[in-house]
Amino acid sequence: MSAVSRSEKPTGRFRRMLDRLSSSQEDLESEELREDAETAGCTRIGDCQDRQIVTVTGTLRTVTLRPRAGVPALEAELFDGSAALDVVWLGRRSILGIEPGRKLIASGRISMSRGRRVLFNPKYELRPLGGE
């Protein structure tokens, strides 16, 4: 894909149709996630800075149980089309509804751990699945 983002390209009907036909499925899903974040009024994960209080939305890519300092921790990777961040619930082995492919909105303070954005014990809201 070129260095020009889609939002900076001409937005004619023919141009949009060509873009959709020439884009990969992953590009189309990423664009849809970015649009969802914008319409929900959430901060894009790619724009989040260390120690910033944010509300982000996206799709959970992975969910794993990974102990931290001997304490159970449920970790999930949240992707919004611009970047990914790790969402960590300390002291939890599982949370009903937290599963790969699920959309959610999460709020809290961003921290950086090993070069990745992390949101510890966020407030969260599960988004409805397509059929709900």
First to last CA, the chain: 35
Please, what is the Cα angle at 59 between 30 and 113, to 5 degrees? Answer: 100
- Integer Cα distance of 40 and 37 in angstroms: 5
> How do residues 12-58 score in pLDDT, each as one tens digit?
777 766 666 666 777 667 677 777 777 888 999 999 999 999 999 99
> How do residues 2-16 score in pLDDT, each as one tens digit?
444 554 555 677 776
For residue 92 the two structure tokens come to 């939890």
Considering the entire predicted model, what is its pTM?
Answer: 0.74
- Integer Cα distance of 17 and 53 in angstroms: 37
- Integer Cα distance of 17 and 13 in angstroms: 6
